[in-house]
Structure 1
Amino acid sequence: MTTIDTIDRKILRALQADSRLTMQELADRVGLSVSPCHRRVKLLEERGVISGYIARVDQKALGLPVSVFISIKLARQKEEDLDRFAAAISAWEEVLECYLMTGPRDYLLRVVAADLASYEAFLKNKLTRLDGVASIESSFALTQVKYSIALPV
Structure 2
Amino acid sequence: MNEPFDPINQRILEQLVANARMPITELAKAVGLSKTPVAARIRQMEEMGLITGYRAILSPLQLGLTHVTYVEVKVTDTREKALQEFNTAIRLIPEVEECYMITGGFDYQIKLRSRDMRHFRQVMAEKISTLPHVSSTTSYVAMEAIVEQNWLSI
TM-score relative to the length of structure 1: 0.95
What RMSD over aligned residues (CA atoms) do the two structures have, in Å?
1.1
Size of the alignment, in residue pairs?
Answer: 152
Amino acid at match of 1:103: G
Amino acid at match of 2:138: E
TM-score relative to the length of structure 2: 0.94
CA deviation vs aligned residue, 1:58-103 (integer Å, no higher than 9, x gap): 1111111001111111112110111000000011111111111111
Cα shift at 1:24: 0.5
Matched residue, 1:150: 151
**In the alignment, is residue 114 of structure 1 matched against residue 95 of structure 2?**
no
SS, match of residue 138 in structure 1: strand
Cα shift at 1:3: 3.8
Matched residue, 1:72: 73
Contact 2:69–2:111 under 8 Å retained in 1? yes
Matched residue, 2:8: 7
Identical-pair percentage: 32
Contact 2:90–2:131 under 8 Å retained in 1? no
Matched residue, 1:25: 26
Q: 5+ residue gaps in structure 2?
A: none
Structure-2 separation of matches of 1:97 and 1:24: 35
Amino acid at match of 1:113: S
Amino acid at match of 1:111: L
- Write out the 4+ residue segments of structure 1 that deviate beyond 4 Å after TM superposition: none
Q: 5+ residue gaps in structure 1?
A: none
Matched residue, 2:64: 63
